[in-house]
Amino acid sequence: MKKRFIVPIIVILVLGTFAAWKILKMQPVSVSKEHGSMPEKTISSPRGPHGGWLFAKNDLTLELKIFETGVPPQFRAYFTTAKGLPIPLNEVKLTIALHRLDRIDEIHFNPVGDYLLGDKTVEEPHSFNMKIQAQWKEQTYDWELSQIEARVELLESAIKNADIVIKKVGSARLKNILKLTGEIGLNEEKVVHVVPRLNGIVKQVFKDLGDQVVPGEVLAIIESRELANTKIDYLSAVKQTDLVKADMDREILLYKNTTRMLELLQKETRLEEIDRELKALPIGKSRELLIPAYSKLELAKSVYLREKNLFEKGISSQSEYLQAEENLNSSEARYRALREKIVYDGQWQVQQKTRTYEMENLKLQTTRQKLFALGLTPEEVEKLSQNNDPILTQYELKSPLGGTVIQKHISTGEAVKNDDRVLLLADLSEVWVNISIPARDIKYVKLGQSVTVIDENLGMKVEGQLTYLSSIIDDKNRTVTGRVVIQNPKSKWRPGTFVTLQLLLDKRKVALAVPNQAIQSIRDWSVVFVKYGNFFEARPLELGESDGNWTEVLHGLKAGESFVTENSYVVKAEIEKSSAVHAH
């Protein structure tokens, strides 16, 4: 009876053992354990009592686990016989080769307690082909396992369509910057308050707020009695000056012709020749007085010579001779006196006429300057002097510079005074950035330093230099005012906008650095995506200092590795679309 039951029992045990052996040898369904938010694809292996991968061959069973609770990720290996009996660890030798995209990590093991501990940290990501080799009782046991984590394959066409930019890792110069705040302001050297310069009534206004103007453009028309009076004074001065000048020119001409007449008389030219040369020239009373005197002198001289000749021959008496001599001397004296008087009077008249002209011309120039002060151009004043300005009261208010109307206090029909600020114009093609520098940081700041101006709301930035640094500390907020001048041809930088600034103090070269836009967050990692062939893999980084544009890499990359520098978010999205999970 007992034999009848023993045989089936033995058969059942044999079949159960065989079934267990087949289960261990077959390719099982994937078993997973959450490691984080990022997926991993694993060619599965059964799980052991410690939650690790389970491998079995012949009489040897290995449970391999990546342990990372409170310590950097490390391999722990547990060995038993096929029946679950522990194996002395000093009898087993274990080596694991992790085949990654860029390298092979070889890990050796040493006994620690009831397990073998790997001698290297299993670096993230845990994406590799794992080749396991164990030696026990002079036999070698080989297993393989593959898992993919934070990796995706992209074809060249997909890379091109997504505008993914790939560059090689290298050194960079990090900027040591001082972050400051500031405000866009007007360039005070290119701001003008437009005033009428005279009292009047606004007849017409041509510009409104925000309008662009060019130098010399008419902004408004004002009717002014003051302008009319000034123009009338100017026209009167022009006419008076013209009259006085004509009088002066005539006097100078008379004096010039008189001088010529005196030169001819001095040469004792015959009267017929003098009359012929001076006949057409205006000389005035000088000719009327001097020619008769000269004629009498010539007559007296002729009589004297005749009487002298007769007296010497004894024909004429001595008294007649002496009388002729006296007449000659008298005529000569009168002639010389008249010459001197004519010369003096001529010079005096010229001086008087010249002085009068200079005084009238001074009045004219003074009136002209008044018109210039009111804003009239030389061309307009010249036009006025030619009587080509029929409307004496109309005043054109013109723009002194090119720019934008940013304030307006003028309207048609209102009365304005000569000092009213009716318009405010500003050239916005160049603006100031006024910086507030804390007094504690002033020791780092000096003129000429490079400054990056950033408008975070509009995503704009521009480079400039520190051109002004105040010598005074504001006693209220304990700051020093600095200034950067930036070009603004399209008026994108609006006065009144608050901006942030990065003041460059110095630069430091680092061996490896990546642009900030290349860095993405996956799980609790800061990563970039390296490229090997068509594969992109997240590479966790240990980061150093950053200057806002570049960040130093302390660990995680090698010089010359290819990585994504632009549009890295596309690669991240492709990795996140993977459906596998992370399992150790």
Which backbone phi and psi does 61 adopt, to 5 degrees? -125, 130
- Residue 540 DSSP SS3: strand
Q: What is the DSSP string of 358-410?
A: HHHHHHHHHHHHHHHHTT--HHHHHHHHTT----TTEEEEE-SSSEEEEEE--
Predicted confidence (pLDDT) per residue in 458-484, tens digit? 999 999 999 999 999 998 999 999 999
Find the CATH number of the domain harbouring 60: 2.60.40.3340
Residue 385 lies in a domain: no
Identify which of 428, 474, 527 has the alpha carbon closest to the alpha carbon of residue 124: 527
In the predicted structure, residue 29 carries a pLDDT above the cut 80: no
Low-confidence winner among 67-76, 256-265, 348-357, 382-391 (lowest mean pLDDT):
382-391
Q: How many CB atoms lie within 10 A of CB 187?
A: 19
- In the chain, the largest separation of any two C-alpha atoms, in whole Å, equals 219
Q: Are 461 and 455 in contact (CB under 8 A)?
A: yes
Q: Are 499 and 515 in the same domain?
A: yes
Res. 32 pLDDT band, cuts 50 70 90: very low
At 262 the pLDDT is 86
Instruction: Determine whether 318 is exposed, middle or buried from the number of CB atoms within 10 Å of its CB (0-12, 13-18, 19+).
Output: exposed
- Sequence-distant (≥ 6) Cβ neighbours of residue 59 within 8 angstroms: 81, 82
Q: What is the DSSP string of 73-100?
A: -EEEEEEEETTS-B--GGGEEEEEEEE-
At 22 the pLDDT is 43
The whole-angstrom separation of Cα 173 and Cα 551 is: 10
Low-confidence winner among 13-27, 91-105, 352-366 (lowest mean pLDDT):
13-27
Q: Are 156 and 145 in the same domain?
A: no
Find the CATH number of the domain harbouring 480: 2.40.30.170
Q: What are residue 500's DSSP bridge partners? A: 181, 454
Q: Are 184 and 457 in contact (CB under 8 A)?
A: no
- Sequence-distant (≥ 6) Cβ neighbours of residue 455 within 8 angstroms: 461, 493, 497, 499
* Length of the chain, in residues: 584
Res. 584 pLDDT band, cuts 50 70 90: low
* Mean pLDDT score of the chain: 87
Helices and strands in the chain, H and E counts: 8, 31
At 4 the pLDDT is 46
Q: Are 560 and 169 in contact (CB under 8 A)?
A: yes
The alpha carbon of 526 is separated from its chain's Cα centroid by a whole number of angstroms, namely 34
Percent of the chain with pLDDT over 70: 91
Q: What is the mean pLDDT of residues 550-554?
A: 95
In the predicted structure, residue 581 carries a pLDDT above the cut 50: no
Low-confidence winner among 116-125, 223-232, 337-346, 382-391 (lowest mean pLDDT):
382-391
The whole-angstrom separation of Cα 483 and Cα 449 is: 11
At 363 the pLDDT is 94
At 389 the pLDDT is 61
In the predicted structure, residue 61 carries a pLDDT above the cut 50: yes
Low-confidence winner among 280-289, 417-426, 542-551 (lowest mean pLDDT):
280-289
- Sequence-distant (≥ 6) Cβ neighbours of residue 133 within 8 angstroms: 94, 95, 96, 97, 140, 141, 142
The pair of structure tokens assigned to 136 is 């026990």
Find the CATH number of the domain harbouring 419: 2.40.50.100
The whole-angstrom separation of Cα 423 and Cα 441 is: 40
- Sequence-distant (≥ 6) Cβ neighbours of residue 271 within 8 angstroms: 291, 294, 295, 298
At 79 the pLDDT is 96
Residue 280 lies in a domain: yes
Q: Are 467 and 550 in the same domain?
A: yes
Q: Are 221 and 203 in contact (CB under 8 A)?
A: yes
Instruction: Determine whether 2 is exposed, middle or buried from the number of CB atoms within 10 Å of its CB (0-12, 13-18, 19+).
Output: exposed
Q: Are 63 and 160 in the same domain?
A: no
In the predicted structure, residue 402 carries a pLDDT above the cut 70: yes
Q: Are 453 and 415 in the same domain?
A: no
The whole-angstrom separation of Cα 328 and Cα 93 is: 159
Phi-psi region of 413 (alpha: psi -120 to 50; beta: other; left: phi over 0): left
At 44 the pLDDT is 57
Identify which of 333, 350, 329, 330 has the alpha carbon closest to the alpha carbon of residue 259: 350
In the predicted structure, residue 9 carries a pLDDT above the cut 70: no
At 577 the pLDDT is 85
Q: Are 238 and 366 in the same domain?
A: yes
Q: What are residue 168's DSSP bridge partners? A: 562
pTM of the predicted structure, to 2 decimals? 0.56
Residue 291 lies in a domain: yes
Which backbone phi and psi does 140 adopt, to 5 degrees? -110, 135
Higher pLDDT, 583 or 566: 566
Find the CATH number of the domain harbouring 238: 1.10.287
Q: Are 269 and 355 in the same domain?
A: yes
Residue 138 lies in a domain: yes
At 287 the pLDDT is 82
In the predicted structure, residue 8 carries a pLDDT above the cut 60: no
In the predicted structure, residue 38 carries a pLDDT above the cut 90: no
Res. 290 pLDDT band, cuts 50 70 90: confident
At 26 the pLDDT is 40
The whole-angstrom separation of Cα 246 and Cα 235 is: 17
Predicted confidence (pLDDT) per residue in 121-171, tens digit? 999 999 999 999 999 999 999 999 998 889 999 999 999 999 999 999 999
Q: How many CB atoms lie within 10 A of CB 353?
A: 21
Q: Are 285 and 245 in the same domain?
A: yes
Question: Is the four-CA dihedral 329, 332, 338, 343 of positive or negative sign?
Answer: negative
Radius of gyration of the chain (CA): 56
Question: Is the four-CA dihedral 87, 88, 92, 98 of positive or negative sign?
Answer: positive
Higher pLDDT, 423 or 302: 423
Q: Are 451 and 510 in the same domain?
A: yes
The whole-angstrom separation of Cα 501 and Cα 122 is: 43
Q: What is the mean pLDDT of residues 368-392?
A: 83
Q: Are 361 and 257 in the same domain?
A: yes
Q: Are 463 and 452 in contact (CB under 8 A)?
A: yes
At 355 the pLDDT is 96
Q: Are 77 and 219 in the same domain?
A: no
Res. 427 pLDDT band, cuts 50 70 90: very high
Q: What angle do CA 106, 153, 33 make, to 5 degrees?
A: 60
Residue 35 lies in a domain: yes
Q: Are 579 and 445 in the same domain?
A: yes
Domain of 420, in residue numbers: 191-223+396-425
Q: Are 162 and 570 in contact (CB under 8 A)?
A: yes
Number of domains in the chain: 4
Give the sheet arrangement for strand 191-194, strand by strand.
Answer: 191-194, 423-426, 403-408, 212-213
Residue 210 lies in a domain: yes
Residue 240 lies in a domain: yes
Helices 285-312, 318-373: crossing angle, 10 deg rounding? 160
Residue 266 lies in a domain: yes
Instruction: Determine whether 584 is exposed, middle or buried from the number of CB atoms within 10 Å of its CB (0-12, 13-18, 19+).
Output: buried
In the predicted structure, residue 196 carries a pLDDT above the cut 60: yes
